[in-house]
Structure 1
Amino acid sequence: MDTVLVIDGSARTYGSDIASFGSHTRRISHLFAETWRSQRPEDLILHREVGAVPPSPVDADWVHAAFTPAEERTFWMQQRLAESDKLVDELIAADVIVVAAPMYNFGLPAQIKAYVDNVVRVGRTFGFDRSRDGEPYWPLLEGQNKKLVTIASRGDFGYDDRLKHMNNVETGIEIPFSYIGITDHYRIAVEYDEFADERLQASIKRAEENTKDLVATLIAA
């Protein structure tokens, strides 16, 4: 049995197939989950809502606690890391991770960035030892055959070519996930949101088709 973890980061709480001015990323992430469930009903699908309920951002207490050896942490340190521990446990348990992240000002929503900062964590998802020769950092989730699917939405178009240099969404997820050992990446995107015309509808249709194809590919693999 596989576990699929779906992380929704849009501030819009409904999909665009349900509500006017709804979220395209939620629409596609929901389709991904429902398509997977229809083909593999025995698998576990988890949903982590960060758009409406974001994780607490990293602060000085979090950093202090995270870089204190586990056996030396005080009660307040354990409490400060409890939310992060839960998010990391979900990530470690997942075989497929779907991150639905709309583009906000060319980058990630703050809610998704807070999630990333909570799960890229020393001693849990990456190792660090300053006494090691060469590279003191190493990924702890490497070799676990995890798949990362990024679902993005963009107001403009061409962020895979003409505006690639301005797109910090997928790389903002893929780089830190690669750092902790999740290197098998897939992308789906909806464009033309701000144009709200037939080009948007065509882009949504392509994204839906690509989603169904990707689910079939991942399941076959």
Structure 2
Amino acid sequence: MTQTLLHIDSSARGTGSTSRQLSDRIVTQLAPAQVIRRDLADPLPQITEPWIGANFTPAADRDAAQRDLLALSDTLVDELRAADTIVIGTPIYNFTIPASLKAWIDLVCRVGLTFEYTPEGPRGLLAGKRVILAVASGGTQVGSEIDFATGYLRHVLGFIGLDEVQIIAADRLVQDMDAALVAANAQIDALAA
């Protein structure tokens, strides 16, 4: 049973967003005990040179300004750590993910916190969590050669240890919206908590 669920939405659309509707249905279907909500329509900052400098300064050596620069990133990492299940609603914009979701990824992929380097290569530190992607696209078929969103998300999430990723897609909505929504909703109905 899902105890704590992190629910992330990245569509720029507040209303009328298919990915938001799908992610909401997934959360309802899973009925977690606690939901942590992160709406990326509220823009996150881009990483900057001072942020990178703070990130690569050992924690014990950071000054107050550097700690302030990393505070949001620390919160986002804490949200990931607290969650048993992560639901990410994302549209496909121009064949890939929205910039808001990329900003979130940049803020949570942190050496020593969500991954580490070993003699065998990088190792994710967030293993044992379930991820469900609620993906919507107007014309891009999920899994096709022009879908640069879902392959990237699987890769980067796996990089931080989140390798149990399930995709629920309502794709090619402009071709047959009704069929795409029926298929996605059937997958949601079949989800086990």
Query: Which residue in the other structure is 1:158 paired with?
Result: 141
Q: How does 1:180-195 map to 2 (within 5 A)?
A: 180-195=160-175
Counterpart of 2:173 in 1: which secondary structure? coil
Deviation of 1:134 after TM superposition, in Å, equals 4.2
The one-letter code matched in structure 2 to 1:3 is T
Counterpart of 1:166 in 2: which secondary structure? coil
Q: Is the 8 A contact 1:54 1:115 kept in 2?
A: no
> Could you tell me which of 103, 116, 120 is aligned with 2:105?
116
Q: Is the 8 A contact 1:116 1:173 kept in 2?
A: no
Distance in 2 between the 1:33 and 1:189 partners?
A: 15
Distance in 2 between the 1:133 and 1:111 partners?
A: 33
Counterpart of 1:156 in 2: which secondary structure? coil
Counterpart of 1:68 in 2: which secondary structure? coil
Distance in 1 between the 2:137 and 2:74 partners?
A: 32
Higher Cα radius of gyration: 1
Structure 1: gaps (5+ residues) = 15-21
Q: How does 1:87-98 map to 2 (within 5 A)?
A: 87-98=76-87
% identity of equivalent residues: 32
Query: Which residue in the other structure is 1:202 paired with?
Result: 179
The one-letter code matched in structure 2 to 1:205 is V
Structure 2: gaps (5+ residues) = none
Greater relative CO (CA pairs within 8 A, separation 6+) = 2
Q: CA RMSD in A?
A: 1.5
The one-letter code matched in structure 2 to 1:10 is S
Q: How does 1:1-221 map to 2 (within 5 A)?
A: 2-14=3-15, 22-37=16-31, 40=32, 43-50=33-40, 52-128=41-117, 133-135=119-121, 137-142=122-127, 145-160=128-143, 164-195=144-175, 199-214=176-191, 216=192, 219=193
State the TM-score, normalizing by the size of structure 2.
Answer: 0.93
State the TM-score, normalizing by the size of structure 1.
Answer: 0.82
Q: Is the 8 A contact 1:10 1:23 kept in 2?
A: yes
Distance in 2 between the 1:74 and 1:118 partners?
A: 19
Q: How many residues align?
A: 192
